[in-house]
Amino acid sequence: MTRKELERHGALLFGAAWKGRIASALDVNRKTVSRWIADDAVAPWAAEKIRALAHIAPPPGSSDMQDRDSACVHAIEPELTRLRDIAVSAGWHPAEVAAAILALTIDEIQAHVGSEETIKMLNQACGGALVEVIEKRSARS
């Protein structure tokens, strides 16, 4: 990744004050980002992560959780679809891929908020009727 690409991605992802924010996202200090600019070369691992960030939009400025939840769904859906398509091309069934993503997601939520809150979050994501949603979706198939 060149300086020009770094500056373009940085401004696109984080706006005017992008150097500090991209340093934080990459877990490096601002001097490292400045060195990449001066050298006209970004470390390969960082370039890969920056390109990945460019595929997923950052959260909106809003602190409203409903806005953030919806924005997150829209931001990650294309990448999850791409990942699913890769797995299906490798021979996995779409339902197996979805179950694996769900299992990983549940594990991640539990690690951060515990089992009880995870159940509440999953129920809320299904409009307060987790079992009913599953039954309705099964009936449609």
Return d(Cα 38, Cα 75) in angstroms, integer. 32
pLDDT digits (tens, 9 = 90+) for 2-58: 999 999 888 888 888 899 999 999 999 999 999 999 999 999 999 989 988 877 777
DSSP string, 30-41: HHHHHHHHHHT-
DSSP string, the chain: --HHHHHHHHHHHH-TTHHHHHHHHHT--HHHHHHHHHHT---HHHHHHHHHHHHSPPPPS---HHHHHHHHHHHHHHHHHHHHHHHHHTT--HHHHHHHHHHHHHHHHHHHH-HHHHHHHHHHHTTT-HHHHHHHHHHH-
pLDDT digits (tens, 9 = 90+) for 84-113: 999 999 999 999 999 999 899 889 999 999
pLDDT at 97: 95
